[in-house]
Amino acid sequence: MTEREVRCLVCIVEGKFRGTSMSQPEVAIVGIGMHPFGRTPEASGQDQGIYAVRQALADAGAEWDDMQFAAGGSQDAGAADTMVSKLGLTGLPFINVANGCATGGSALFSVYNTIRSGACDVGIAVGFDKHPRGAFRVDPAEWGLGEWYGESGMALTTQFMGMKINRYMNQHGISHNTLAKVSAKAFRNAEHNENAWRRQPIAEEQILESDMLAYPLTKFMFCSPAEGGVALVLASADKASKYTDTPIYLNAATVRSRRFGSFETLSPWIAAEAEGGPTADGAKAAFEMAGIGPDDIDVAQLQDTEVGSEIIHMAENGFCKDGEQERMIQQGETEIGGRFPVNTDGGCLANGEPVGASGLRQVYENVLQLRGQAGKRQVPGNPKVGYTHVYGAPGISGVTILSR
């Protein structure tokens, strides 16, 4: 037996098998790069993506010529494949991805599965964006909706998110103070993140008393459209040692879309009988693929476009039952030093959201955590397994499970 086959057999016996058969190569993240999020007037979105790519290549000790496959995307900063004009015209397959806020997660999914298939040994996922100031706005016609949807104000995602968490609070007993605690945690964590946009801690009282944007959500409970870029170099586990001494394995990467009955962004109605949404489906598939459960996760990055999203996604990803978030958050369980650390880098709330890069930022953070390189925001206890979840309109979720 080869060394790799022996390792896989040991994992099966120990109940830690990474969810891939021996006929399909495991995948490792061997390089990470990030352009700081926020506002960078002097750099285009593409330039920020290129910066992240070069950082990731340097981290892996690789060159652009080594990349055999690439996938990436942005919403407002142009097609990702045009980066090759500055990175190098090597002829590699480069797939453009557009999946709302799940664009980065979907790019990662594409590279992950390409390597697992055996089609290539090494590839790169990249996401970047550069959004104008103000709330995200959409043309309802582009999403299969009538003009009435925009005329009623629903095309502003702030309206939808306010209604969704207001309904959830009433159904499951979530308090306004808990909303504020989620936001305060984000800015407190970001104070120690050199790549975050908003790094100034904000008191819960100030968060609650700030301008009301979409009840019950105040100004400091929302993320903002932002700029930035993230890139990840992936390789088959067999080749990982060529690039790094600290590979972080991708045990699972899933993407799911909405089903009938789920209440998602840009939904024009609510079904009489609710069904699990894409997040629940993606989480279930990822845990099955990795062969572990929610209790095995040491650190998680969950989509927090606003505070309500983080709260709802805790349950949708299987980490608690609906309503249990009130106790968990009030008791500090989601803090960096808590039982279940969530959004250790400040999440979307503090980093802002460049749509194409957001899902990859989460994975970047988990790689740092699992490497033990997160500095003052490092989760204690030597974390071994990380989880990410990204969510995008009109109801797309991407999940990853990582281990070292």
User: pLDDT tens for residues 233-247?
Assistant: 999 999 999 999 999
Residue 305 phi, psi dihedral angles, 5° rounding: -50, -35
Q: Burial, 139: exposed, middle or buried (Cβ in 10 Å; 0-12, 13-18, 19+)?
A: exposed
pLDDT, residue 138, reads: 77
Residue (of 251, 236, 255, 227) closest to 97 by Cα position: 255
Alpha-carbon gap, residue 393 to 350, rounded angstroms: 21
Report d(CA 403, CA 367) in Å as an integer: 9
Rounded to whole angstroms, the Cα distance separating 118 from 179 reads: 45
172-230 per-position pLDDT tens digit: 999 999 999 999 999 999 999 999 999 999 999 999 999 999 999 999 999 999 999 99
Residue corresponding to tokens 């004009």: 85
Token couple for 11: 């994992």
Mean pLDDT of the chain: 91
214 and 348 Cβ atoms separated by less than 8 Å = no
Mean pLDDT of 162-169: 94
* Structure token digits, residue 354: 């460049």
Contacts of 42 (CB under 8 A, 6+ apart): none
Integer Cα distance of 174 and 106 in angstroms:
31
Neighbouring C-beta atoms of residue 191, cutoff 10 Å: 15
64 contacts 285 by C-beta, under 8 angstroms: no
In percent, the amount of the chain with pLDDT more than 90 equals 77
pLDDT band for 19, please (50, 70, 90 cuts): very low
Residue 7 has pLDDT above 70, yes or no: no
- Cα 187 from Cα 166, distance rounded (Å): 23
Question: From CA 148, how far away is CA 264, in angstroms rounded?
Answer: 18
Q: What is the pTM of this model?
A: 0.91
**pLDDT tier at 293, thresholds 50, 70, 90:** very high
Report the pLDDT averaged over residues 38-67: 97
Q: Is the pLDDT of residue 25 over 70?
A: no
Given a cut of 70, whether residue 17 has pLDDT beyond it is no
Question: pLDDT, tens digit, for every residue of 138-151?
Answer: 788 888 888 888 88
Best CA proximity match to 390, nearest among 108, 105, 168, 146: 105
- The pLDDT of residue 9: 39
Give the count of alpha carbons within 13 A of 28, CB side only.
20
Poorest-pLDDT segment among 13-17, 32-36, 332-336, 365-369:
13-17
Give the pLDDT mean for 89-94: 97
Helix H or strand E segment including 212? strand 212-214
Q: Answer whether residue 135 shows pLDDT above 80.
A: no
DSSP 267: -
Tokens standing for residue 264: 């998602």
Give the amino acid at 53.
V
- Kindly give the residue spans of alpha helices, DSSP state H, lying in 236-354: 278-290, 307-316, 325-330, 347-351
Backbone angles phi, psi at 92, to 5 degrees: -70, 150
Inform me whether the pLDDT recorded for 44 exceeds 60. Answer: yes
Count of other CB atoms within 10 angstroms of residue 295: 8
Tell me what pLDDT residue 244 has: 96
